[in-house]
Structure 1
Amino acid sequence: MARTTLESWMKAQSIPAPLARIFAMTADCGIEISVALRVATASGQNGKAGSVNVQGEEQKALDIVANDIFLRRGAASGVLSAMVSEELEDIWPVEAAGPDARYALVFDPLDGSSNLEVNGAVGSIFSVLDIGKAAGVTKEDVLQTGTQQVAAGYILYGPATVLVLTTGESVTMFGLDEVAAEFVLVEDGVQIPVEANEFAINMSRYHQWYAPTRGFIEDCLSGKDGPLGKPYNMRWCAAMVADLHRILCRGGVFLYPEDEGTKARGGRLRLMYEANPMSLIVEAAGGAASTGTTRVLSIEPSDLHQRVGIIIGSRAEVETACQYYADRARPYP
């Protein structure tokens, strides 16, 4: 049976030429970053860079490498008028973008980079926005709701390198053939199981959680004799891409809600670089994404680096977790 490459899939799906160029560009970024990760230990690049990003977080050398790869390849794509990175404070305009450049790429070049020193899974996340102009892109142009995203995707760098794409209608998964240096189709029309018995959360924040979060997790842990009527397993990869990829494949719920420690910032994860693109993917696969009280994709962004709380994954599991926020009269231990 003939295999389907990313290029042939895009032709068969009649992906518009500008968007196809963006998908091809992000795939090339993924291939280059995958190679950089494979040789990082031997080259000494998996440690700290000795600098901090705009978020005030200590950067790894590979954070900078991955960011530079996206900026370089994005600038050469011919269809981007601006790029917005988690690692940069402001919009990065693409010089001499050309008259057909009307899109912005919003991206987290290396999600979960704290895993690098232990050879854990990391990833890249991206969102495509239609800016409608080739020059003079402003923050107001970029601060669009998640529902306005033209496309989104992520690349998971694990035992295999996997590319996941959506235009908001369905979700498609590709795997990297390292010998041929090209992505090939793994599954089209990916669907998340409606319910599952796994949750992913950073348990170290237990004493900072709001009562609804604590109540939901404690009920998950109470097993089949508890209110939820089934035993749950806990999983935590410390990289959103890795945790959400597992959920995309076999269901579950990922929680990084606002808590006492993050309420001053509105949450922990970034709306534009992480929550919005992942929510578009998950909803297109039949799942759901909420802050606990609000659909993530409906949030009106106010800042490029705005943070939010998020509960995302299998629809029934997200709805159950959100019910704990709606039912504030319930007593929690």
Structure 2
Amino acid sequence: MSDQTFTQYLLDVQDAARGPQRPPGHDYAHILSAVAVSMKLTASLVSRGPLALSGASRSAGEPGTLQRGLRRLATRTLLERVAGIGRLAAVSIAGDPSIHQISAGLDARYLLLAEALHGSGGLYENQTVGLAFSILERLGGGPCGEADFMQPETRQVCAGIGLYGPSTMLVLTTGHGVDGFTLDRDVGNFVLTHPQMTIPTSSGSFAINPSEARHWPAPTKRYVDECLRGSDGPRGRDFTMRWNASAVIGAFRVLVNGGLFMAPDTGRRVGLWGMPLMHNAAPLAFLAEQAGGAATTGGERILDLVPLSLTQRIPIFFGAVEEVRRIERYVDEHARGLDEGQSYPLFHHRTLFIEP
């Protein structure tokens, strides 16, 4: 039997949406198709790097120039592909306060949230970048405003990530598990290569930004300390710490290798702390749970949150259930003072490493 293409997958999604348990019109396959097409076009842009920019921008040679230029092109590509979809009411783009109105028709039942080029800061170093998106079912009618997007994250009907690297991948859930597709450039279609992905329950890896170690809260320091003490520490086995400054790459690693991705609350509110709830954390949490994992702020399940604004940012821990529950336990024990007096040897010095 030949591999299933994304087109065939969308037909299955559409058939399921029209089943007896779904109301008429509950169909977002056209939106997913547009996202996939925008990914193909964006993959071509990313592969060209500075060559995708105009002469003046290309010759600037600054990291921010490439980042801003390709991010704008990726966002414009996505908006152009979804324009005119009758079932899509509006789009919210990460970092853009505007609501992009698409359709005001009676069939406009859906809202799309997306970050078209996540981790674009790594483009100057030719690193993998990605996409994060989520689809919500709309509650009202007429022109859309920010209030239409302020829904419990459990109302997501679909979420996914994309990766632009050595291969272009689309990973998504429609609420029935997680499937991964790889772009076959020879035929111009995504092909199912990772069916029903599940997060491995046992893993010796975790991801966190070590440059902010001095600002980590005590439960995070405790977790990292125990992992890095390896087989001689309380965990009794060795761990590997990784960091790519990308939640999308971190999410994919968790999906294929297990472990835990952490972006804790450092207590600092300067710059871009934490993770955008609606455009990043919520779709990643949906993927994690559909793949048998979990996602939390440390104290609350992320899918239980009701956003307060389109720009709201939160701490996030997502990955294997066992590791997520461990960090939640450490947070709870710290709140109750049960970890008072505990020592974290790796943090007695200015770095993560003990001097000999």
User: Partner of 2:193 in structure 1?
Assistant: 186
User: Partner of 1:218 in structure 2?
Assistant: 225
* TM superposition shift of 1:59: 5.6
1:76 has 2:81 as partner: no
Aligned to 1:18, the other structure's residue is in SS state coil
* TM superposition shift of 1:132: 3.9
What does 1:121-200 correspond to in 2, within 5 Å? 121-133=128-140, 135-200=142-207
Q: Which runs of 5+ in 1 are unaligned?
A: 51-57
- Contact 1:152–1:280 (Cα < 8 Å) also in 2: yes
User: Partner of 1:60 in structure 2?
Assistant: 68
Query: RMSD across aligned C-alpha pairs, in angstroms?
Result: 2.0
- Which of 38, 42, 56 aligns to 1:29? It is 38
1:5 has 2:11 as partner: no
Tell me the TM-score normalized by structure 2: 0.86
Aligned to 1:83, the other structure's residue is in SS state strand
What does 1:181-330 correspond to in 2, within 5 Å? 181-262=188-269, 267-328=273-334, 329-330=338-339
Aligned to 1:327, the other structure's residue is in SS state helix
> Using the alignment, how far apart are the partners of 2:324 and 2:314 within structure 1?
16
Larger radius of gyration: 2
> Using the alignment, how far apart are the partners of 2:311 and 2:48 within structure 1?
31
* TM superposition shift of 1:77: 2.6
> Using the alignment, how far apart are the partners of 2:250 and 2:7 within structure 1?
27
> Using the alignment, how far apart are the partners of 1:295 and 1:154 within structure 2?
20
- Contact 1:67–1:87 (Cα < 8 Å) also in 2: no
- Deviation per CA, 1:55-75, whole angstroms, max 9, x where unpaired? xxx962111111111111112
* TM superposition shift of 1:47: 5.1
Q: Which runs of 5+ in 2 are unaligned?
A: 18-25, 345-356
> Using the alignment, how far apart are the partners of 2:3 and 2:202 within structure 1?
32
Aligned to 1:60, the other structure's residue is in SS state helix
Matched residue count: 324
> Using the alignment, how far apart are the partners of 1:39 and 1:25 within structure 2?
22
> Using the alignment, how far apart are the partners of 1:12 and 1:81 within structure 2?
23
- Deviation per CA, 1:311-332, whole angstroms, max 9, x where unpaired? 0011111111221101112124
> Using the alignment, how far apart are the partners of 1:80 and 1:173 within structure 2?
24
1:19 has 2:28 as partner: yes
> Using the alignment, how far apart are the partners of 1:172 and 1:271 within structure 2?
23
The 1:49/1:250 distance shift into structure 2, 3 A limit, reads closer
The 1:272/1:332 distance shift into structure 2, 3 A limit, reads farther
The 1:266/1:64 distance shift into structure 2, 3 A limit, reads closer
Tell me the TM-score normalized by structure 1: 0.92
> Using the alignment, how far apart are the partners of 2:276 and 2:184 within structure 1?
31
- Contact 1:201–1:255 (Cα < 8 Å) also in 2: yes
The 1:47/1:155 distance shift into structure 2, 3 A limit, reads farther
> Using the alignment, how far apart are the partners of 1:69 and 1:204 within structure 2?
34
Aligned to 1:84, the other structure's residue is in SS state strand
- Deviation per CA, 1:89-114, whole angstroms, max 9, x where unpaired? 132212x5533222110011111111
Aligned to 2:90, the other structure's residue is in SS state strand
